[in-house]
Structure 1
Amino acid sequence: MSALKSREAILFGAIFALVALIATRFPGFVAPGNLVAVFTDTTPLMILAMGQMVVILTRCIDLSVAANLALTGMVCAMINVAAPDLPVAVILVIALVMGSALGAINGILVWKLNIPPIVVTLGTMTIFRGVIFLLTEGKWINAHEMSPTFTGFPRAEFLGMPVLGWIGVVIAIVMMVVMARTTLGRAVYAVGGNPHAAVYTGIDVGKTQFKAFVISGMLAGLTGYLWVARYSVAYVDIAGGFELDVVAACVIGGVSIAGGAGTVVGTLLGALFLGVVKNALPVVDVSPFWQLAISGAAIIIAVAFNAKSGRSKGRVILKSAEHAQ
């Protein structure tokens, strides 16, 4: 855990240094209003990354989060077009339930059929995108077709920040409590740390992984509505490739691909790092398409860092054992 805290401190320092460096050329970047905008723009990534974190901690991965987002967002938009007077609260419930159901499909396939998570979620990623096309025949839903209430909710400001940002803050607090103070949180870490030992302590590994996928799906579904409402558009390829950023945020934040290690704070910092990079690229006149390359490189560097730390820890343990003999 101390290594993770050190990793978080380094990442926080890197974010601070990056922002400070950009501010030397473009002072407006650190204006309070712009920093709030950067945080709000990064909130969807933060929410998805927190769900992905839970899945990765159980030694699984969910590559369908962006497709879940797109499908749920499209369904919410279609419902709004058909029933524009439907309260936003109902739309939110629909998004949460539908996202959870899509996540449950992944969880059941992994739990009951023992199919590798990467295979399951690659398949459902394609299926979810295909379902969107079948529902819409490739047509878009644009801003003029959505009700002002539907699109206005995530943009409405409260205490100087859009509701979207506050939703991210609330979810972060809830996730911190869940992971640190609940039986489910402890089970997630136990399953990822040593699944065989977890079984002996009475933890159902498959069921825990199922719950992790449901959480990931639920947060993806919620993000689907927030994304569509904020940008006032829904289409088949919405958030295409965003799953790479989600995984990158987790890995950069110190979540081990091998499972069992990682924190909510680290995941949030990983997402913020990518968010700052994304928003800074246009400012320094660099194509935003470089973000994909940066995300990929960051994953490789972070995994290499984790692997090196793991080997160092292993050497320390071996030396201790030798001295004991």
Structure 2
Amino acid sequence: MTMTAPTPAPPAEASPERGARLVDRVFKMRELAILLVFLVMIGVTQAGNSEFLSEQGIKDLLLNATILVLVATGQALVVITRNVDLSVGSTLGISAFAAGLYLQDGGSGLVAVLLAVAIGIGFGLLNGLLVSLGQVPALVVTLGMMYVIRGIDSIWVGSRQITAADLPDGFNDFGSGGLGAVPWLALIALVVLVATAYYLKQFSSGRELYALGSNPEAARLAGIPVRRRTLVAYTVCGALAGLAGAMYLARFGNVDSATGTGYELTVVSAVVVGGVVFTGGSGSVYGAALGALLLTSIGSVLPALGVSSVWVLAINGTLLLLAIAVDRVVALRVASALKKRNARNG
């Protein structure tokens, strides 16, 4: 009698792929939820203060968010790889002063911006080398770099201060100008945001950042150049922090040795609130930008409603804790869903 071998059951789809898609859907819903909260908050504020969404009001809202959106975009790349950069605030400050000093001496605005970006690239590259090649924990490296840069900035700047009167009129006008209610600075931030999101989605090197953040050892075994990708993430993060420094100078026209102090914590909060998981591998730069927009808008909404601005930090901290709690709940539910699917598929 001829025995026919049973047809093997089709292999179940790999759990990591199913998990990645499930997590992706969850965090897209979270980004939509953040957008909804933002729109409701703006709507309530407009109902209580009819002047809030005037042309100047919208312009101020966008300008307040622009710098944080830029730095949060770079920070998101680093956090996606399961790392962090706590030196972005110091990089922003020293880049802004360098650009201002160059402009004060009669330099051109474009070269000043390029100078700020180059300084950011230098510090980002140094962070990336220490983390990727030196195998030093990112928290330790960037915390130390934060103090090093701040120390250099304090010694170099001293008691000096750059004001708008020291800068060319064209540079100041660019910082406050725009197309109607949309500032030039916001358009630059939008271009950077869209370009970064496109890179993460369409380029294999961008998608590899997620694989690296999900499981560094598995990424290494799969042939992904882990050190190179980490180095790129930190370099881009530094470059965007430097660009943000130049935009800070154009926006406020006032830079001293304390510029950017404490900014790194606000950036990390924006990224985490925006759905980029602090343990890496999930989230998007659009979510980070929405988190930045939400946090900066709170500072504008409260005074418009007659609420003291001292509540801003408390609200930001609450949002951060809620975001971390949501991340934990999502992780547990995804793990549970995958176990059930695996059990059904044998």
TM-score range, shorter chain: over 0.9
* Aligned pair partner of 2:209 in 188, 206, 215: 188
Q: CA deviation at 1:32?
A: 4.0
Distance 1:195 1:314, change over 3 A: same
Measured against aligned partners, the alpha-carbon deviations of 1:154-201 in whole angstroms (never above 9, x if no partner) come to 223235422111111111111121111112211211111121221122
Q: 1:286 aligns to what?
A: 307
Matches within 5 A, 1:267-306: 267-306=288-327
Cα 1:288/1:238, change in 2 over 3 Å: farther
Instruction: Say whether 1:78 aligns with 2:101.
Output: yes
Q: Distance in 1 between matches of 2:289 and 2:332?
A: 26
Secondary structure, in 3 states, of the residue corresponding to 1:27?
coil
1:1-325, aligned counterparts within 5 Å? 1-82=24-105, 84=106, 86-325=107-346
Partner of 2:5: none
The normalised TM-score by structure 1 is: 0.95
Identity of aligned residues (%): 29
Q: CA deviation at 1:292?
A: 2.0
How far 1:63 sits from its partner (Å)?
A: 0.7
TM-fit CA distance, 1:296: 1.8
| Aligned residue number for residue 19 of structure 2 | none
Question: Aligned AA for 1:270?
Answer: G
Structure 1: runs of 5+ lacking an equivalent:
none
Q: Following the alignment from structure 1 to structure 2, what is the Cα–Cα distance between the partners of residues 175 and 205? A: 19
Distance 1:254 1:51 in 2: 15
Counterpart residue identity of residue 322, structure 1: A
2-structure distance, mates of 1:16, 1:57? 27
Runs of 5+ unmatched residues, structure 2: 1-23
The answer (yes or no) to whether the contact 1:88–1:153 under 8 Å persists in 2 is: no
AA in 1 matched with 2:154: F
Amino acid at match of 1:87: S
Q: Which range is displaced more, 68-77 or 265-274?
A: 265-274
- Give CA-to-partner distance per residue, 1:29-67, whole Å, 9 cap, x none: 123441232012100010010000000000000111111
1:69 partner amino acid: L
Quick one: distance in 1 between partners of 2:240 and 2:205? 17
Whole-Å separation in 2 of the counterparts to 1:76 and 1:288: 31
- The answer on whether the counterparts of 1:39 and 1:275 sit within 8 Å (CA) in structure 2 is no
The Cα of 1:257 is off from its aligned counterpart by 0.4
